[in-house]
Amino acid sequence: MMNKIRKFWNDEQGQGMTEYGLVLGLIAVAVVTSLIALRGHIIGLFDNAEDTVNQGVTEMGATP
């Protein structure tokens, strides 16, 4: 019985998948943190793009 417990305890199969999961989780946290930190800048970029498109449509004589 003790041999089975030791074998189970020392079994490292599946350890690689756990490490990949942890790395993926850290990457996800970094991406979310970056998006939160840059939220104002990203909103400004989209607002500028919207203004540019609306200005081009208006110059063509159409209504946005």
Q: What confidence tens digit (pLDDT) does each residue in 43-60 have?
A: 999 999 999 999 988 888
Instruction: Check residue 17 and give its pLDDT.
Output: 79
Residues 6+ apart with CB under 8 A from 57: 63, 64
Tell me the torsion sign for CA atoms 8, 13, 18, 23.
Answer: positive
Q: Give 46's DSSP letter.
A: H
d(CA 10, CA 6): 6
The answer to whether 63 touches 57, Cβ cutoff 8 Å, is yes
Average pLDDT value for residue range 22-37: 97
Domain spans of the chain, in order of start: 1-62
Query: What three-state secondary structure class fits 53?
Result: helix
